[in-house]
A and B are shown apart, each in its own frame.
Chain A
């Protein structure tokens, strides 16, 4: 959008003295030097080369924060007005870089070690062993396959959410009441939901749903059968997140140009025709945004699975996240778990990039 020049123009009449520039540079480099030297000393202490050091690495964190603050301040000191503009973005950028890039690099290193927190040896690089192990780990592939099912379930959620948004957009009384009620499931924590629904309502002996099924002469099984268990997980996740898509779609429906809808009515279009020919095509951009964001959230699905089935029966409900969670919790296998997570990240990045490419190409030529 703003490719050249600022949207908000400011006239800068800065006269920055050399002394000021020097001060700023000294601040940045001085604090960086302090942080680096402290880190080196601490590393030497941990490796037992020297005898004085800190108990934890936390002082180095403080030194790092000092450096970050100095870097932000120095922007203003060295660059004046231009620095004040940089100061808007710099804190957030520093925050994200230090909390994402460093851990990711660290994760890359761990994922090629045999680090097990239970073993006393610490990390030993073991080359590609983890990759071979992953290749033969049928549970991991099974979890990936389950993720495909879970992502496909988004389409059903989308249809339901669209229907609900249409209902809320219709001329009804007590619209605000229904909107609040329909929003409520999104507010509940997945952990509470997994007890409320998974462990009590669908409990086989006393749960109200099992009771209802027995009333009709059926025999309730929910989490014993692989297919039904997977469906139940999907349903619980859908229950929590349908409001999310519903609200986005509702916002889209309310922003539709009214004239077009009225014109179609005048031309004699039936309800279904005006939906198919006008509402749905106009809603495509909003739908795509909602579905893509929902898929991104879906790829993180774990809480419900960890708490209701812990992946069972026989891994039928496992998502990648819950599988790695157990790999760590039960076996403390940090090295292998991290490799699985990194592979998953690569797969996700490829998948989402392809999805966005496809969507943007498809949107250019609407059907």
Chain B
């Protein structure tokens, strides 16, 4: 029966049109997939190449070139060097550790301050002088348009007199400031989605407002906080401008290390590639496993 219907002229046209749209959609998807993945693939494969492979433009490992650990040896990470003492590896690990500590603490601090502020603004009405709730919200969110370059030079001088130049704390404070508006933006949206009746019930049952916040609201808002945390983490990990200006030898982060290596002419491609891969891999892993939260964080506030 069905076969007879599908034979009809107009039905055929529909199926062929459907196939055409399928092919178009998948072609577009694959083209963009290559655009997204090729640079990453290129960097990772280059880190295993030797000079002749780079010059000949060999691309596929084991097929047109043999992977070597040369690039990774230049930052002291390879099966051969892993047991030995290596100064380059220590240098790299120090930067890596700085990046980790700074971005995690800044993101934590921002989520802490930002969630509290967002909760307060979504539940109570304040008056600080002439500023009402909407003004306070606007004050926080307007920090987003503040370009880093305006703060950079005053901070350079302030930090110099405070003895905070080239210290992790200094960067943590600045990064917290940088991501705070984004955290407040996400968390305000999250708290608006939580029904007030829950807290009212908790208050009736004898909890204070902070008790209700800690025991009732916080567990519900946790996924949103994780989303805000991860988004902040990504922004802090990748930040370059402040780190380049305010740190030198002690507290500088991975992006600064990568940038200082690119500056020199005639740099070995394989070692640059290894360094870049090492700098991007943590976040690539985060993206693959925690993609849900990143998308949740960015979608919050976009859709009302």
Note all chain B residues with C-beta closer than 8 A to A100.
Answer: 143, 146, 151, 177
Closest residue of chain B to A86, judged by CB?
B126
B-side interface size class: 35 or more
Q: Is B23 an interface residue (CB 8 A)?
A: no
CB within 8 Å for A110 and B153 given contacts A7-B196, A188-B280, A252-B303:
yes
The contact string, 1 if C-beta is below 8 Å from chain B, for chain A 173-193, is 000101111111111111111
Q: Interface of chain A, helix or strand or loop or mixed? A: helix
Q: Do residues B36 and A99 form an inter-chain contact, with CB atoms below 8 A?
A: no
CA distance A87 to B152 in the complex (A): 30
Q: Do residues B116 and A88 form an inter-chain contact, with CB atoms below 8 A?
A: yes
CA distance A276 to B176 in the complex (A): 42
Q: Do residues A286 and B302 form an inter-chain contact, with CB atoms below 8 A?
A: yes
Q: Do residues A88 and B113 form an inter-chain contact, with CB atoms below 8 A?
A: no
Q: Do residues B209 and A10 form an inter-chain contact, with CB atoms below 8 A?
A: yes
Query: Which A315-330 residues have a C-beta within 8 angstroms of B?
Result: 320-321, 324-325, 328
Closest residue of chain B to A344, judged by CB?
B147
Q: Do residues A251 and B255 form an inter-chain contact, with CB atoms below 8 A?
A: no
Q: Is B288 an interface residue (CB 8 A)?
A: yes
Q: Which of B42, B153, B258, B295 contacts A192 (CB 8 A)?
A: B258
Q: Which of A170, A201, A338, A345 contacts B146 (CB 8 A)?
A: A345
- Interface-forming stretch among B6-14, B85-93, B268-276? B268-276
The contact string, 1 if C-beta is below 8 Å from chain B, for chain A 272-306, is 00000000000001100110010010011011001
Q: Do residues A110 and B124 form an inter-chain contact, with CB atoms below 8 A?
A: no
Q: Which of B154, B254, B272 contacts A195 (CB 8 A)?
A: B272
Show 14 A/B contacts (Cβ-Cβ < 8 Å), sorted by A: A6-B124, A81-B209, A104-B150, A167-B32, A178-B33, A180-B287, A190-B255, A191-B238, A191-B255, A247-B295, A251-B295, A285-B304, A289-B302, A303-B255
Residues of B in contact with A (beta carbons under 8 Å apart): 25-26, 28-29, 32-33, 35-40, 42-43, 46, 54-55, 57, 59, 113-114, 116-117, 119-126, 128, 132-134, 136, 139-140, 143-158, 161-164, 173-174, 176-177, 180, 184, 196, 199-200, 203, 208-210, 213, 234, 237-238, 240-241, 244-245, 254-256, 258-259, 262, 269, 272-273, 276, 279-280, 283-284, 286-288, 291, 294-295, 298-299, 301-304
